[in-house]
A and B are shown apart, each in its own frame.
Chain A
Amino acid sequence: MINYSFYFYTYIFLIAATILLFMGIEIALALSFFINKDLYKKYENLFLSMWEITGTSITFFLVQYEALLPSLLVPVAYSFYPLIFIILFLFIFRNIGIGFFEGKSINKEYSKRDILIYLFGTLIMVTLFVSILSTAITGYGIKIVNGNIVLEPSIIFNYFTLLLLLSTILFVLGILGYVFNVKKFKIYGLIGYLLVLLDIYLYENTIPYLFFFPLIILLILTFVNLKDIVQRILFIISNYLNATILAALLFPYIFGTININSLLPQNLPLLSAEFTISIIITIVVIGIYYFEIKTILS
């Protein structure tokens, strides 16, 4: 018997990890436009096409959330709407920017300004996305009053979110090292991960031993010279391993206190259908995306 609540809970963490990974790669490559032109030129096509899959993943995250927690839709909609509208506004900014310079890139016409517009929108969007994820994990920044969720400014300005944001910035720089093999940036990724562990320690008063497995992978990636492809695969594994461990440790809670087992649809045929389709989506998307990357980089 499949434990659907655990499966979908983990699955949504994996989608969030995918969004962060893709956005991290996008930002890292956008930064390389300013700090490493050769690298940028080499992966220009990948950078210009990535927003498509990132954007789709964000929509998938939304649909998965709607499918997983219908009972939370109403209170979250009533309380999170300002934040969500801001994210939408930035999403407009970002997509129009990137869509245009991808179009213009066919004639190599885009400028530094286009990339800056895109970077601005994306960075703030990542900040808000990480803040929402952080709140979903800890519950900091919200209060539950009579079944309603009340949003507070501390949703961003709390130690957990701020540390997580700092580590996200370092994680992005780390991507330049681990994925694109710019060696001097690898150490930032490692420091970023240590900050995540510090964050978890401050929140839980302990660091679950499972987190040492991804740490070991990052140590190897930072200090051992590996082939590019091995390095990339290990980095991606560590990314998804972290998401899975986090999901396993936090399950079944969301916002720190709400038990999702009481919120999940109790409808087995629907859950079973969603389970089947989620497997198909994963396999098909990975397969076609692999083909796309090969086509783009060739």
Chain B
Amino acid sequence: MLPVYDIDRIVFASSLAVHIIIASITIGMPFAIGTLELYGILKKDESIKNLAQRISTLILVLFAIGTLSGTIVALEIYILFPKFMQIVSNTAIISLYIEILAFFIESLFVGIYFYSFKKYNNSILHPIFMYLIGIFGAMSGFLIITLNAFMNYPVGIEYLNGQYIDINPYSIFFTPIEFIEVFHGILASFEFGLSIFVLFISYKILKEGDIENIKIYGKALKLTIPILFLSILLLGIFGINSIDTLAKYQPVKYATLEANLNGNISNAPENLFGIVTNNYTLIDSIQIPNLQSLLYGSFNPNTIVPGIYANESYIPSINDITIAHNSFDIMAIFGFLIFFISLYGLISLIISKEDKKDKKFTLNPKYTFYMNKLLLYGLILLSVLSLISLETGWVAAEVGRQPWTIYGILLTRDAANLNLGVIPIAIAFELIYISLFVLSILAIKRYFINKL
């Protein structure tokens, strides 16, 4: 039987996993829709403008579900981890407070956008409202990830008279890991949101028989693939930098993600996958000699990388290391795959001519890109990989910090609600919630996607 705090963790993690999907789509997709609509208005292309406006209904429905999943996460974190929220309220609440402002503005622009189709028809203000939905969605993300950076590296607080208090409410914005973590997180959400848009368009092209409609969708792909590629490139750069930052400021987490279980060592191999045994030994892994030290120390194999020992206090459990390490590897490997698919898409978009009338499976990047089934299925695969990378990235980040909820300050077992009565209600609620979420996705497909 799992301890109560582990059940609290699982319930909260599953709610968060759902919320991350929805929130990320409402961060990335508005930029694609706004760009399409803006293009349609500036080029006086009614077909593209109409396509953008039709797809925008998805944002509305997803925003409704996102408001819901966000409120659920906000309430669950308080109910399941009350001690954590107590400390946050005394120290780092300012980011949540400002997040409310961003959330308010985002929701107001959702209303303004959807009820001003006629009023601002052919005005560039209308796509700007859509951009603003995405911008304030991203701002919410920025503020939430700021709180997460504080959990990883708490600064600006003091322990006084039995409680932690804030000595500078704004210091939460100036942790040394803030910039890298926040932009890495936001870019991952942005990229995933865009990839869902690309998935939708690719799916439509594959289903569509009318060449004129396919050309419209093709134009939409042409506008979004470069943005998608750029976001993936930036995501990769920030991802690599975040590993360096991690090693410098969160060495225990770094060691966990890399499964370095023999202390600080030089000539460290890159451990891919594997399982951690009871005596903190990594088995069944693929090891690439020296690679970790090479990557960590500017191609010097003698570089010492951070590691942990089994007998150290406050290191993650064997299960946590296994989960965090494998999640991290999956995220990184899928990240590379995503990059290559988007690069292929970009090259094909640049060099192919728009002269083919038949959809065909071909590796030839010169074949009309929106008629190339390989690329279209590749883009669908890209969005699936993006989803898995997004989720595993967050699993690695959160599980890798265990046993701490706020590093060095609050252990997860102390943060959690240990009331046994919470368990059946929370599990039942979670099952209903996830079932309804799945039903919602099916309903979205039936009522919206199939009709667009």
Contacts and interface: CB of A to CB of B under 8 A. Distances in A.
A81 B90 contact: no
Given A104-B447, A106-B57, A62 B74 contact: yes
Given A53-B108, A100-B61, A67 B97 contact: yes
Contacts of A88: 71-72, 75-76, 429, 433
B425 A270 contact: no
Nearest to A297: B115
A102 interface: yes
Interface string B428-442: 010011001000100
Given A70-B89, A78-B417, A296-B111, A277 B68 contact: no
Contacts of A99: 60-61, 63-65, 67-68
15 contacts: A52-B110, A56-B100, A59-B74, A59-B100, A73-B85, A88-B433, A102-B64, A103-B60, A269-B167, A269-B169, A270-B91, A270-B166, A274-B97, A291-B108, A295-B116
A239 interface: no
Interface in B105-130: 105, 107-112, 114-116, 119
B83 A74 contact: yes
A295 B94 contact: no
Contacts of B103: 56, 59
Given A66-B96, A67-B97, A277-B94, 19 more contacts: A52-B110, A56-B107, A59-B71, A62-B71, A66-B88, A70-B86, A73-B85, A81-B421, A85-B79, A88-B76, A89-B432, A91-B72, A96-B65, A99-B65, A102-B64, A265-B90, A284-B101, A288-B104, A295-B111
Contacts of B307: none
Contacts of A45: 115
A266 B90 CA distance: 9
Interface in A76-127: 76-78, 81-82, 84-85, 88-89, 91-92, 95-96, 98-100, 102-104, 106-107, 109
A228 interface: no
Interface of B: 57, 60-61, 63-65, 67-68, 70-72, 74-76, 78-80, 82-83, 85-91, 93-94, 96-101, 103-105, 107-112, 114-116, 119, 165-170, 417, 419, 421-422, 425-426, 429, 432-433, 436, 440, 443, 447-448, 451
Interface in A230-256: none
A78 B71 contact: no
Nearest to B88: A66
Ranked 8 nearest A-B pairs via Cβ: A99-B64, A70-B89, A77-B82, A95-B68, A52-B107, A273-B169, A49-B111, A296-B115
Contacts of A284: 101, 104-105
Interface residues of A, number: 62
B168 A277 contact: no
A280 B97 CA distance: 11
A66 B78 contact: yes
Contacts of B168: 269
A103 B116 CA distance: 15
A269 B166 contact: yes
Tell me the interface secondary structure of chain B in the complex: helix
A55 B71 contact: yes
A273 B74 CA distance: 21
A92 B429 CA distance: 11
Contacts of B436: 92, 96
Contacts of B97: 63, 67, 273-274, 277-278, 281
Interface in A259-298: 265-267, 269-270, 272-274, 277-278, 280-281, 284-285, 288-289, 291-292, 295-296, 298
Contacts of B443: 100
A82 B428 CA distance: 11
A90 to B, nearest CB: 11
A269 B421 CA distance: 38
Nearest to A55: B67
